[in-house]
Amino acid sequence: MTSNEFKNGMTIEFDGKLLKILEFMHVKPGKGNTFIRTKVRDMRTGGVLEMRINAGIKIEQAILDKQEMQYLYADGDNHVFMNTETYEQVEIPASHITDELHFLVPNMLVNVTFYKGELLGVDLPDKVVLEITECVPGVAGDTKTNATKDATLETGWVIKVPLFINQGERVIVSTESGEYVSREK
């Protein structure tokens, strides 16, 4: 494929790196050749880079293999996932999934991503349902606009929730922003 065929979310192999395109823009300067200003995430390190790639050059598209797996348990610094079809288990080091651990609970189904047999990471759903394990009660009469309080989720992650949310309730949390979305219905 050529760089003119870029799409957001596409994965490419460029300069020996495996990169996911987050956003891109074709730029036609007054002088010189057209280029593509690209914001990418290195799939191996998780780092975000900004690159300039000449328009029309050939780039290899990387085809990722995603397998639905069930999160089982933590085993020291590793986390064990099981393929729900073959029952094959995979251990992923905590260092590879530090942000995802805020939202992972046992028995949750996630997509584990591989590239040519190399484990890249875990793709969480956009929103997850988690239980609040610790939360101070809301103060009666405190009705200022958008009043919130801290609440600890079953994973240990602390989020801001509205005053009417209580301990033991299940809430929907965005895995992108890490913020409260709503109560579970």
What is d(CA 173, CA 151) in angstroms, rounded to the nearest whole number? Answer: 12
> Tens digit of pLDDT for each residue in 13-22?
988 899 989 8
Q: Please provide the average confidence, as pLDDT, over all residues in the chain.
A: 89
The residue-averaged pLDDT of 135-163 equals 82
Q: Residue 99 in 3-state DSSP?
A: coil
Domain with CATH 2.30.30.30 in the chain: 3-61
Q: Kindly report the CATH class assigned to 65-123.
A: mainly beta
43 — pLDDT class (breaks 50, 70, 90):
confident
Q: How far is CA 174 from the centre of its chain?
A: 10
The residue-averaged pLDDT of 126-130 equals 93
| Domain 127-183 architecture | Beta Barrel (2.40)
pLDDT over 80 at 86, yes or no: yes
Q: How far is CA 175 from the centre of its chain?
A: 6
Fold of 3-61: SH3 type barrels. (2.30.30)
The residue-averaged pLDDT of 122-132 equals 92
Please report the beta strands in the chain, taking only residues with DSSP state E, as ranges in sequence order.
11-14, 17-27, 35-42, 48-54, 60-61, 65-75, 78-83, 89-93, 109-115, 118-123, 127-135, 148-153, 158-162, 170-174, 180-183
Domain with CATH 2.40.50.140 in the chain: 65-123, 127-183
Q: Residue 165 in 3-state DSSP?
A: coil
Give the largest Cα separation in the chain, rounded.
Answer: 65
pLDDT over 90 at 185, yes or no: no
